[in-house]
């Protein structure tokens, strides 16, 4: 089982509150990711990081922000939560295998945070 | 547009029966294809990963096949168990970027009844 952790697992919060979703991994992976997933829908990449002090926005526009000060830690912050932010947020990390353009890598997911904004 | 389509959307089978889930993709250039199992309220867990040169890979009762020419994959589950009830997600990676971007299907929701 992968050593990647997310807290809290469930969060119900009122509109306008600031929240931080925590994600930590103990595998020493350089790459980390945040995905958003609604019920019955595909995962959408919202942020990723190649390593410390590296963060990029993903495919899906998100009002959240991330930081990567330490290799093992990749928190996601919402400055002002809204009902439209209600979703499941999944954190993942990956290693790299192989070389060149055919390299493959395993991506390990955390258990997720189910966020409900009322 | 890079896409991953899965069928059926949902499936109910009896314990002990076999089933096959389908995945069609248009992702190009292709790097690899993965199948993940996602239990309700949990993160996805990898079952298999295949590159373009592999056409079948097994992991216990799970066997994945890949036809890179027709851009199709299947996941066959034999002798199903109640614990197989989950969403099975097909994920395709491209090799057009350093990140190796992942494209996710919406999953097939499998329910195994006793």
Retrieve residue A89's tokens: 């947020």
- The Cα–Cα gap between B72 and B105 comes to 13
Contact with chain A for residue B8, Cβ under 8 A: no
- For B31, the closest of A44, A102, A108 (CB atoms) is A102
Q: What is the pLDDT along chain B (114 residues), one digit of tens a residue?
A: 779 999 999 999 999 999 999 999 998 888 889 999 999 988 999 999 998 888 999 999 999 999 999 999 999 999 999 999 999 999 998 876 555 678 899 999 999 999
pLDDT at residue A102, rounded to an integer: 39
Listed residue (A37, A59, A40, A38) closest to A48, CA to CA: A59
Cross-chain residue pair A104–B49, CB shorter than 8 Å: yes
Instruction: Tell me chain B's radius of gyration from C-alpha atoms.
Output: 14
Sign of torsion over alpha carbons A64, B100, B2, A41: negative
Where do the H-state alpha helices sit in B18-112?
A: none
Separation in Å, CA of A87 to nearest CA in chain B: 11
Q: What is the tens place of the pLDDT at every residue in A23-66?
A: 999 999 988 999 999 988 999 999 999 889 999 998 887 889 99
């Amino acid at each position: 089982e992968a050593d990647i952790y997310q807290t809290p697992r469930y969060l119900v919060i009122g509109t306008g509150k600031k929240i931080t979703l925590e994600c930590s991994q103990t595998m020493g992976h350089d790459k980390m990711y945040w995905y958003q997933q609604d019920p019955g829908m595909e995962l959408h990449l919202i942020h990723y990081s190649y390593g410390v002090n590296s963060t990029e926005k993903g495919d899906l526009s998100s009002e959240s922000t991330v930081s990567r000060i330490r290799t093992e830690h990749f928190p996601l912050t919402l400055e002002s939560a809204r009902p439209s932010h209600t979703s499941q947020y999944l954190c993942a990390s990956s290693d790299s295998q192989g070389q060149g353009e055919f390299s493959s890598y395993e991506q390990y997911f955390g258990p997720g945070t189910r966020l409900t904004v009322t | 547009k890079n896409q991953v389509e899965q069928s059926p959307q949902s499936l109910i089978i009896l314990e002990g029966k076999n089933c096959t889930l389908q995945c069609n993709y248009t992702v190009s250039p292709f790097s690899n294809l993965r199948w993940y199992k996602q239990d309700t309220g949990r993160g996805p867990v990898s079952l298999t990963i295949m590159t373009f040169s592999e056409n079948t890979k097994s992991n216990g009762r799970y066997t994945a096949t890949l036809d890179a020419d027709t851009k199709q994959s299947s996941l066959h589950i034999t002798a199903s168990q109640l614990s197989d009830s989950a969403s099975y997600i097909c994920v395709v990676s491209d090799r057009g970027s350093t990140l190796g971007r992942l494209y996710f299907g919406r999953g097939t929701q499998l329910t195994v009844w006793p």
